[in-house]
Chain A
Amino acid sequence: MSAVLTNTPTAAPLHQASPGLWTLAWRRLKRDKIGMVSLIVVVFFLLLMLGSYAGIVAGNWSKEVGVSYANPSFMAGAENLDAVKAKVDANAEKIPYVDLSDIDPLAPRYKEWEERTAKIKITETPRSDTLIFGGDKWGRDVLQKAIKGAQTSILVGLVAALFATVIGTTLGAISGYMGGKIGDFLEWFYNIFTSIPYILLILAFAAVFSSSPSLAPYRGVPMVVAILAFTGWTGIYRLIRSEYIKHASREYVKAAQAIGATHSRRMFVHILPNVSHVCLVQLSQHVVQFIKAEVILSFLGLGVPVDSVSWGTMLAEAQSELVIGKWWQLAAAGISMAILVTAFSMLTDSLRDALDPKIK
């Protein structure tokens, strides 16, 4: 339709782009202080995520800049727990090395090797005793790690929610709009998923996906996303379906039918924009839900692998650290997650208020 607007006749009276419903919703949102603050926090996290993705932020998260479990700077005075050095038996040092030269295929080049070795010098950067928010067991900066963890967790949450929304919306739209046999079939499909308790469904999917040899290449983030999306679409489906049923009987859709609009046109051009706010709210709600789920899955070892750090793997690691008094990783992961999730939930509430035509 944008073509229409660019082709407007010059004769047309002076006009200003009239505010559509989205614009109005945005205006309403702008008036909502809590909503705006939440939005800023969420956007901040998203930028952080993009930044860490691009390597601008927390690019050095895996660098071991501190000693093991370096104290947070604000606790600089506290006793640092030195990693226990391997106790080497003093006698062992005196035992001569075994000579392999008679059987070692590398023996002919021993001398060359030694010479080269002498030339190589690897210098280690000194490690700091304190880090801003403390260090983990390898001496990595917990704050950077939390940012990197945010990247994974948010990515998983966002992408899984996006997929779940797409699945739920598509199926819900078809079922709600078409009804009849197709609707019955999709309802059946939906009933299957909902008659299994959600936790069990996730665990069953996780058990199967993670032990499937054919899915092995997709382990890690893609698999967590798939597990969450395949199990999490049902709520969206239900809502979108009822919205479609409601809208399909609305007069504007009847009017579209009357003027000869095709089914797909009615489904996607007419109804979809009118339920899109529901999708959006569902999307943001599911992001929250999935971020929380990712944490638990990762904790159980069914989520992302440990080398791609996430809030879940951080919490799994931090669990044992609390007992030995190294609380900062738990706090970093827990608090950053709480901030994002709180902001996201509040944004969802505000979005719902702003977008819902009823509350206006």
Chain B
Amino acid sequence: MGAYVLRRLWQMIPTLAGVMLLIFVLFNWVGGDPALVLAGKITNKEQIENIRKQLGVDQPSYIQLAYFGFEVATGFTCTWRSYTEKPTDSPKPTADAKADTKTDTKADTTDAAKAAPSGCQAVRSWATNEEVPKILTSRIGPTLTIMIPVLILETVFGVILAIGVAYVRGSLTDRMIMMVCTVAMSISFLVYIIVAQYYFGFKWGMFPVQGWSDSFWKNLTTYAPLPILLAVFVGLAPALRLYRSFFLDEINNDYVRTARAKGLAEKTVMLKHVLRNAMIPILTNIGIALPGIFVGSFLLESFFSIPGLGREILVAVNRSDFPVIKAATVYLAMITMLINLAVDVLYKAVDPRVSFK
């Protein structure tokens, strides 16, 4: 298994490189000129040039790519200057910026013709100048406060209902539930949010309309329930349909017939034999959904003023705050890959047929 995990980690490198390449191509070639985002409402050419230089977007693209790789690897960004210019004095080193002095001394001795980093610091949002890693870590909490309960509730209810529906498969109840699911799935999430916030939150006052506090419990008990309920409600219909199909797939298997031939009651067959096997595709499905919980539901987060990652990314998109989007994408891709690996390793616990080769 060690070898398997090692190999999988090794295989992640090209994928991660690919993700970085994709992001780079997207943002540096296709995307607009970031300098204009940063320039104010009255700007002149010189200022824009100055910003371009600070961002390094005036460099050739291969250097920018290397630079991006450096950013991802270290989480630090550096000011780039061409060799003819000498780096400025770094600000007095403080506990916050130890990295500065180190790279600066290096810069003095850099080979001519090479661009040299100076004044390294954590990658920052263009809009708020907040350190991007800090943005990601501080926004993840609220997102998970919503999404983990959503995932748990959705899975639990989904599985329970799916077993029930699969048990009465083909009956009128089954058909009705499936019909309701299809219809429920057809209504846009947006409509649900708008209507639910208006009626549940405002008109009937069952939940606060929006908000977030510093207390985890208060969030979970006061602010999170409505968003969670909405997300569960919306997610339940597709989950139910999917899980039902998993159960039906399993029910048609030979081992179910064997179990019946043993004299097991239908309930035991479903809850023991079928459920255990259906958990395998269900786990796969959760594995696929799991990385998504880190992004959260940006719609919920913006409507309910939850300071989560999804809302942050949305704001970044609206403001063309590229460092935030880029970092979020790359780091979430890493998390996704690690989660996938973890899920694959976990498989072993559910499916004894899995072997790590």
Direct contact of A and B (CB under 8 A): yes
Residue in A191, A195, A198, A315 whose CB lies within 8 Å of B191: A315
For residue A200, which residues in chain B have a CB less than 8 angstroms away from its CB?
295, 313, 328-329, 332
The total of chain B residues at the interface (CB under 8 A) is: 49
A207 to B185, CA, bound (A): 27
Stretch at the interface among B25-33, B52-60, B70-78, B166-174: B25-33
For residue B325, which residues in chain A have a CB less than 8 angstroms away from its CB?
203-204, 207
Is residue B190 contacting chain A, with contact meaning CB distance below 8 A? yes
Flag if B14 contacts A188 (CB, 8 Å).
yes
For residue A163, which residues in chain B have a CB less than 8 angstroms away from its CB?
none
B54-89 CB contacts (< 8 Å) to partner A? none
Stretch at the interface among A13-21, A45-53, A89-97, A208-216: A208-216
For residue A197, which residues in chain B have a CB less than 8 angstroms away from its CB?
291-292, 294-295, 332, 336
Flag if B188 contacts A315 (CB, 8 Å).
yes
Is residue B317 contacting chain A, with contact meaning CB distance below 8 A? yes
Interface string of A176-205 (1 = CB under 8 A from B): 000000000000110111111111110111
Flag if B182 contacts A346 (CB, 8 Å).
yes
With A191-B18, A199-B298, A295-B188 as known contacts, state yes or no: A209 contacts B30, CB within 8 Å: yes
For residue B202, which residues in chain A have a CB less than 8 angstroms away from its CB?
323
For residue A61, which residues in chain B have a CB less than 8 angstroms away from its CB?
none
For residue B9, which residues in chain A have a CB less than 8 angstroms away from its CB?
none
A154 to B191, CA, bound (A): 18
A213 to B320, CA, bound (A): 13
Stretch at the interface among A131-139, A264-272, A299-307: A299-307
For residue A212, which residues in chain B have a CB less than 8 angstroms away from its CB?
30-32
Stretch at the interface among A122-130, A255-263, A334-342: A334-342
A212 to B29, CA, bound (A): 9
Is residue A322 contacting chain B, with contact meaning CB distance below 8 A? yes
Flag if A334 contacts B15 (CB, 8 Å).
no
Flag if A322 contacts B194 (CB, 8 Å).
yes
Is residue A171 contacting chain B, with contact meaning CB distance below 8 A? no
Flag if B190 contacts A299 (CB, 8 Å).
yes
| Nearest-Cβ distance from residue B153 to partner chain A, whole angstroms | 20
| Nearest-Cβ distance from residue A154 to partner chain B, whole angstroms | 14
Flag if A323 contacts B190 (CB, 8 Å).
no
Residue in B30, B191, B333 whose CB lies within 8 Å of A330: B191
Secondary structure of the B contact surface, majority rule: helix
Flag if A342 contacts B182 (CB, 8 Å).
yes
| Nearest-Cβ distance from residue B221 to partner chain A, whole angstroms | 27
Of B16, B295, B337, chain A has the most CB atoms within 10 Å of the CB of B295
Flag if A208 contacts B30 (CB, 8 Å).
yes
Secondary structure of the A contact surface, majority rule: helix
Is residue B235 contacting chain A, with contact meaning CB distance below 8 A? no
B2-51 CB contacts (< 8 Å) to partner A? 14-16, 18-19, 21-23, 26-27, 30-33
| Nearest-Cβ distance from residue A44 to partner chain B, whole angstroms | 16
A337 to B299, CA, bound (A): 19
Is residue A345 contacting chain B, with contact meaning CB distance below 8 A? yes
With A334-B188, A337-B186 as known contacts, state yes or no: A199 contacts B31, CB within 8 Å: no
Is residue A60 contacting chain B, with contact meaning CB distance below 8 A? no
| Nearest-Cβ distance from residue A6 to partner chain B, whole angstroms | 44
With A195-B19, A204-B325, A296-B299 as known contacts, state yes or no: A334 contacts B187, CB within 8 Å: yes
Is residue A219 contacting chain B, with contact meaning CB distance below 8 A? no
With A195-B337, A213-B32, A322-B198 as known contacts, state yes or no: A188 contacts B186, CB within 8 Å: no
Flag if B194 contacts A319 (CB, 8 Å).
yes
A339 to B183, CA, bound (A): 8
Is residue A292 contacting chain B, with contact meaning CB distance below 8 A? yes
Is residue B189 contacting chain A, with contact meaning CB distance below 8 A? yes
With A203-B325, A213-B33 as known contacts, state yes or no: A300 contacts B15, CB within 8 Å: no
The total of chain A residues at the interface (CB under 8 A) is: 50
Flag if A295 contacts B190 (CB, 8 Å).
yes
| Nearest-Cβ distance from residue B212 to partner chain A, whole angstroms | 21
Flag if B194 contacts A188 (CB, 8 Å).
no
Flag if B182 contacts A345 (CB, 8 Å).
yes
Q: Which residue of B lies closest to A193 (CB)?
A: B22
Flag if B32 contacts A211 (CB, 8 Å).
yes
For residue B188, which residues in chain A have a CB less than 8 angstroms away from its CB?
292, 295-296, 311, 315, 334, 337-338
| Nearest-Cβ distance from residue A2 to partner chain B, whole angstroms | 38
For residue B32, which residues in chain A have a CB less than 8 angstroms away from its CB?
211-213
Flag if A192 contacts B198 (CB, 8 Å).
no
Of A200, A205, A345, chain B has the most CB atoms within 10 Å of the CB of A200
| Nearest-Cβ distance from residue A87 to partner chain B, whole angstroms | 29
For residue A311, which residues in chain B have a CB less than 8 angstroms away from its CB?
188
B139-184 CB contacts (< 8 Å) to partner A? 182-183
A201 to B23, CA, bound (A): 10
B271-326 CB contacts (< 8 Å) to partner A? 291-292, 294-295, 298-299, 310, 313-314, 316-318, 320, 322, 325
Flag if A205 contacts B26 (CB, 8 Å).
yes
Q: Which residue of A lies closest to B333 (CB)?
A: A195
Residue in B14, B26, B183, B318 whose CB lies within 8 Å of A204: B26
Is residue B195 contacting chain A, with contact meaning CB distance below 8 A? yes
A340 to B187, CA, bound (A): 10
Is residue A206 contacting chain B, with contact meaning CB distance below 8 A? yes
Flag if A208 contacts B27 (CB, 8 Å).
yes
Q: Which residue of A lies closest to B316 (CB)?
A: A207
Of B22, B195, B292, B317, chain A has the most CB atoms within 10 Å of the CB of B317
- What are 20 A-B pairs with beta-carbon distances under 8 A? A188-B18, A192-B19, A192-B21, A196-B19, A197-B295, A197-B332, A197-B336, A201-B329, A204-B23, A206-B317, A207-B320, A208-B27, A211-B320, A212-B32, A213-B33, A299-B190, A315-B188, A318-B194, A330-B195, A346-B182
Extra A-B contacts (5), CB below 8 Å, given A203-B317, A299-B190 = A199-B298, A203-B298, A207-B320, A337-B188, A341-B187
Q: Give the top 7 A-B pairs by smallest Cβ distance, nearest first.
A: A341-B186, A192-B18, A211-B32, A342-B186, A207-B317, A195-B333, A208-B31
